[in-house]
Amino acid sequence: MKTLDQFKKEAFKKPGVKKAYIEMQPEFKIIRALIISRNKKGMSQRKLAQKIGITQSALARFESGKINPTLSFIQKITSGLGLELSIK
């Protein structure tokens, strides 16, 4: 089994992979911040999903980075966590 660092080192040798990874960092930061906030509030994916009217699987896809969410989807999640979305 490879570590994440080993995997990244090998993957970054392929053309465009490192550039794409760097370009996706803002998205990853948003997702990571929302996951941390949800966990700090002691909310499961299921509980948050029910609160904001989406399926748990949709929230899981968002948190795993498998979908490209709309701004309104992110706003729905932040609102459900009692947060305010601010774009600077």
pLDDT at residue number 21: 86
The pLDDT of residue 87 is: 83
86 inside domain: no
pLDDT above 90: residue 76: yes
Q: Is residue 38 part of a domain?
A: yes
Residue 88 lies in a domain: no
Q: Is residue 2 part of a domain?
A: no
User: What pLDDT is stored for residue 32 in this prediction?
Assistant: 95
Read off the amino acid at residue 8: K
Q: Is residue 3 part of a domain?
A: no
Q: What is the CATH number of the domain that holds 42?
A: 1.10.260.40
Domain that holds residue 48: 19-80
Domain membership of residue 11 (yes or no) is no
Distance CA 44, CA 63 (A): 12
Domains in the chain: how many in total?
Answer: 1
